[in-house]
Amino acid sequence: MKRLGIALAIVSAILVIGGLSFMSYSAYLSYATAKSPTPAPSKYDVGPPDAQEMLELVNAERAKANVPALTYSKPIETVAQMKTDDFHLRDYYSHEIKGQADGYWLTPEMKAIAQPLCNSYAENLTSAATSRETVTRWMNSTAHREAILDPTYITTGFGISEGKGDWYYVSEHFCVAK
């Protein structure tokens, strides 16, 4: 009987140790095969483009070039939004206003808002799905990059309007203040 008790104790010990080893191995497999969580995308990489986000990205580019940050202007934003809405409503994409033979890129209504504030202005246009994509496209274009980094421009405003699919018309207007 004593031998039977010892045999049962040995078998029980083997089962317990084997079970623990199996549990540890199962835990290891679970850990080893688990996918690490995908980091959340940056706010700059989630659409649609956002004026505050684009201002942050543009000013980061200006800081890299030792150019003072742009300040945001609601009236300049209004002009940029009017232009961007015009793209959307009249289905064109150009610095020049559709249907104006004189080549102007601001309507008389837009000029009435901008001229009291600005000696001169400039405009960046693109179509993009996110804030980062917008600024990246501009920085990859010589003329657009030069406008972003031009220290004579001190104020800006953005216009954003729905495009086709998941992209948007985006314009940035710059102002050399009076």
Q: Tell me, letter by letter, the H, E, C secondary structure of 37-100.
A: CCCCCCHHHCCCCCHHHHHHHHHHHHHHCCCCCCEECHHHHHHHHHHHHHHHHHCCCCCCCCCC
Torsion of CA 77, 79, 85, 86, to 10 degrees: -160
Note down pLDDT in tens along the chain; length 178 residues. Answer: 444 444 444 444 444 444 444 445 555 545 555 566 788 889 999 999 999 999 999 999 999 999 999 999 999 999 999 999 988 888 877 877 777 766 567 888 998 999 999 998 899 999 999 999 999 999 999 999 999 999 999 999 999 998 888 899 999 999 998 8
Distance (Å, whole) CA 127 – CA 98: 17
